[in-house]
A and B are shown apart, each in its own frame.
Chain A
């Protein structure tokens, strides 16, 4: 009977439950992370907050916080010196070990190899900056730059909305002065937090994986959560910074854009951006390659694959592995809470920057711009443009701002990629 209970006890001790409920050994941290994963799953499934990414992120978070699962454990390679007897056997051609042999300066070693978790292997695509540019390829295939080409001034609104990145970067550095214990942001960390203001998930992940990979989980969760909350965050700021008269401005119909212009656009954007900022090549280049696939009309198969199958596969890999970086040790830090707060600041300032830039343009331009379209400069395609349309129609039901707002919206994608390139150049 005793043996039976001993076996049961041994089974219990080797289980994840034992580790999870071993609060003295830090199991409570995993419990908190699992609760956070449940909350994110609820938001993704029930509230449909950016479910395409929040769901895999939340599930990745859940997986990596289950003790002993080892799904995110790195691959282990080590060299173990061979004993004299083993060397003799090896030289005599008797090698009954499964490990390969490594010889260095006359010494012999066993090359021990421990396989990593499946998500660790998939994470290499994030670590080496492969997934975000592939996502950009798909985004490029789905994006119509027509409204932007039709109204080139939209690019300025897209640039102004990057103000959120700059202010959040400064905000993170300023927090160092508060002397909060365990909160000291380096330039690299501050730049990674600032890029949340770009409201562009792949860009945020790309830059963070290069500059501050330990903050990847927190920054991805903050970026995607706030992107989902754009319809709640932006309208009060837009209304606060504009008058009723400004919100009612009707804009002229966009001029038609020829096919040639649409084809030349990605080529010229690539040339200028990549020559100016080589570090932005992977993001801008892939975005524009995707767009050229679409606009050229000669590679429909590639375009369809990039915007559907490839994009979906990469989204699964990216979301799950980014979520799996949010383990208890790295996520449950005071910094995470501050990153979440700074992310809100980033979105708010980005929105304000776009709206104020549109107001500034109205001072010098004969053709008036509805300042509401400025808020769409914070990427978050097409949610931010829809918000501009909705708020505009609240003032004037006959006002259709959606296509006008798509200009700054897609300009924001280019702007945030360029901003990421600058930050990578400055701090990479």
Chain B
């Protein structure tokens, strides 16, 4: 068991040195092959058919050719060069994760019921629903483990929490991919679309993003105590998503014309990188506030040993904002680009746009307070917590309470 854990940890030879380097270039070659097929292959790029083309013989040949070229290139680079090439070591685990998700999706497809048992009207037969339920259970369990870890830092529950959170990420990611595939199973495939089109789908995406950001921070900075603050946020989201399922919001529905654009696949996920990072920042700040008050009231508390230090929490909160803020900025800009294409103007003061601006201003002010005024500690921690509340309103509240051009996310 521990041998497997070592092999999968970031310091294992799987993710370092020549092996990572060659694999990285193989991946990049495959991607280049995919792009080349879209550009040069017979028939050209047809959005809804491209994914099928990828898994056909033609696609395999293009990707394999790209991979071979990539591997060949990797071997021509000298030993010194690849040692200095940290790029592959950073990139490879991410692509590995994506490949694992794809493989899981491939396995789940095998369990998909036959066409006559699937109908648009009753989607309860689809496998993705069950995978999402598994994800829900895993994430809730993980949240419990992390909370238990605060009280029993020496037991295995901490590790269990990390493992189940990762398992939840893979379940969620593969469920989304599977849902993408499933959306093509109805009505001759004409309603197929990326699974980022309604609240239910983006919630699953959000869980994955929050978990991945947190777990990456956890493995880099050894801050497992933070999980007890991040995972409850995820758990609350899970309950909301279960409620959405119960009111029939989990169904795959056709896209309204305004959403039928490649921009959706870029704008929405990028936005959720921002939201997810802000959630982690909020959790780190909440942990800061709690630790601070424990320190003041009871400096000998045993629990303090489990918490990351105040300085670390302050740093982690900032680090999350540093991930989220540029992503959110870029997402908003790309949203403006999409608006310019679909609505006739890059900025319409639509409620969602305006609230995105407010979120941006709140975190912009956070950064100014931190760097120009050297503000740290309590005020900044509260700022990050309140900033996340504003973010939640921007994400869910606007859809529920305010009407506007972004009304596809509304609950009906």
A and B associate: no
- Which residues of B are at the interface with A, using a C-beta cutoff of 8 A? none
- Which residues of A are at the interface with B, using a C-beta cutoff of 8 A? none
